[in-house]
Amino acid sequence: MLLFIKKNKYQIIKFLITGLLSSFLNFVFYSILYRLDRNINIAAFAGYFVGLLNSFLFSKIWIFSGSNMKFTNKSFIFFCAIYILGGIEMTIVINLGIYFFGNYKLAWLMGASVAAINNYLGSKFLLFKS
């Protein structure tokens, strides 16, 4: 695992930077919607979708820019499938976090961590194959 991280450190750093920006956008939308409606599932998915759009743009032009993946409707749909799986995982973890800890901010952080691992590995090995 350490060899993998060392070999891919710059790509991982770019992914983390993009992820932080996407997560910030995600959390802002999540917090606003949760405070307005108190529906945790809608807030989690809507916030996640905003982060998804940001991540898609940066993945192709910056993080995995050296890949030979062509930008097509199929690649966008596959990207969305990877991130939707992450979103489902995130929503499940958020609900568990709310149930066990009662803190929606901590629950979001836990869910975002699980989704980030899914999204990086799925993008790297399935979509961009870099």
Q: What does each of the 130 residues of the chain score in pLDDT, given as a tens digit?
A: 789 888 888 988 999 899 899 989 989 999 999 999 888 899 988 998 898 888 888 888 888 887 766 667 788 788 889 988 998 999 999 999 999 999 999 999 999 889 888 988 998 888 887 5
Single pTM value for the model: 0.70
pLDDT at 36: 93
pLDDT at 2: 85
Alpha-carbon gap, residue 120 to 12, rounded angstroms? 8
What 3-state DSSP class applies to 100?
helix
Alpha-carbon gap, residue 57 to 62, rounded angstroms? 8
Q: CB pairs under 8 A, 24+ apart, for 8-13?
A: 8/124, 11/63, 11/64, 11/124, 11/130, 12/120
pLDDT at 85: 94
| Residue written as token pair 């836990």 | 110
Alpha-carbon gap, residue 1 to 3, rounded angstroms? 5
* Contact in structure between 62 and 10 (CB atoms under 8 Å): no
Alpha helices, DSSP H, located in 1-130: 2-7, 9-37, 40-58, 73-101, 104-122
pLDDT at 69: 66
pLDDT at 97: 95
- Parse the chain into domains and list their residue ranges: 2-127
pLDDT at 49: 84
